[in-house]
Amino acid sequence: MRKERSGHIFNISSIAGFAPSMGWGVYAATKFSLMGLTEVLAQDVISLGIKVTAVAPGGFRTHFNKPDSLVLSTNKIEDYSEIHFGHNQFVATEGKQLGDPEKAAEVLINLAESPNPPGSDAYRRASEKLVRLHEELEANKEISFRTDFE
Over residues 35-61, the pLDDT tens digits come to: 999 989 988 999 999 888 888 888 888
d(CA 110, CA 104): 10
Residue 84 lies in a domain: no
- Please state the domain count of the chain: 1
Residue 29 within any structural domain of the chain: yes
Instruction: Record the pTM.
Output: 0.74
In-domain check, residue 53: yes
CATH number for the domain harbouring residue 111: 3.40.50.720
| Domain residue limits at 27 | 7-62+97-144
* Residue range 7-43, pLDDT digits in tens: 889 999 998 998 898 999 999 999 999 999 998 998 8
Spatial separation of the C-alpha atoms in residues 54 and 71, rounded to whole Å = 25
**pLDDT tens for each residue of 94-128:** 888 888 888 888 888 888 776 554 445 567 778 88
pLDDT in the model for residue 113 = 75
Domain assignment of residue 90, yes or no = no
- The residue type at 102: E
Residue 140 lies in a domain: yes
70 found inside a domain: no
DSSP labels, the chain: -TTTT-EEEEEE--GGGTS--TT-HHHHHHHHHHHHHHHHHHHHHGGGTEEEEEE----BSSSTTSTTTS---SS--GGGHHHHHHHHHHHHTTTT-SB-HHHHHHHHHHHTT-SS---HHHHHHHHHHHHHHHHHHHHTHHHHTTTS--
Q: For 70-99, how does the pLDDT look when each residue is reduced to its tens digit (9 = 90+)?
A: 888 889 999 999 999 988 888 888 888 888
